[in-house]
Amino acid sequence: MPAWSSGQSIAGRYRLERPLARGGSAEAWSASDTVTASRVLIKLPHGAGATAASFDREYDASRSLDHPDVPRALAHGREGEYPFLVAAYVEGRSLSERRGQSFVELAPLLISLARTLAFVHAQGWVHRDLKAGNVLVSGNRRALVTDFGLAARIGERQAPNGGSPFTRSPQQAAGLPAAAGDDLYSFGALLYELLSGNPPHFPDRAAVERADRRAPEMQPAHPVPERIE
């Protein structure tokens, strides 16, 4: 796997500027589109998990979801033998930086995120990797949903064990067909993490993989409404 670097040209058009984020199998860079003289985001692989199929799936999902809080994919292709994905560049910071805030502070972002998920599901898609690291908070306090590399059509059967073990649903871990409930479970795990600091069971991987697991009682950093808890 190559080591991507600033100034490197991708597909003879996109000049890498600086790294923005790095996940388990891919990394995101800001880049200059030398054709349109605009800034874009480009996603590149750095591990075995980032396949051309996952990049293609992310492109297809993004292009079919016309929503202001889903950054739009612009192009995809290959740089030599390695896939890449180009998307609209958005300014934002990871939702993970909001861990430990009060529910009152988090509520507007959570409402925004829930509405976007409802739209995604209404279009027949399931994100399947909803977690704090895949949500960006824009300057106007909107939650932007990113990284649709594991997305699936509702009812589609995907390989098990995709997504984070601490935020994916038991049904997804078992390889059952994709359902909106998978994202709702992840939304609950995300809320648990934001209010208490970590998702349920973290970092006990054995506990999260038990079929009969139940989330331990949450220990929020600040008092939360009983209904939310």
| DSSP, res 86 | E
Tokens of 159: 């390989």
Residue 114 near residue 169, CB atoms below 8 Å: no
> Phi, psi (5° rounding) for residue 38?
-125, 165
Q: Which of the following is catalytic: 129, 147, 182, 183?
A: 129
Amino acid 193 reads E
- Distance from C-alpha of 229 to C-alpha of 219, rounded to nearest angstrom: 10
Is 60 a known active-site residue?
no
Residue entry with tokens 């601490």: 166
Rg (alpha carbons) of the chain, rounded to whole number: 18
Strand partners, 87: 41, 73
- Could you give the residue numbers annotated as active site? 129
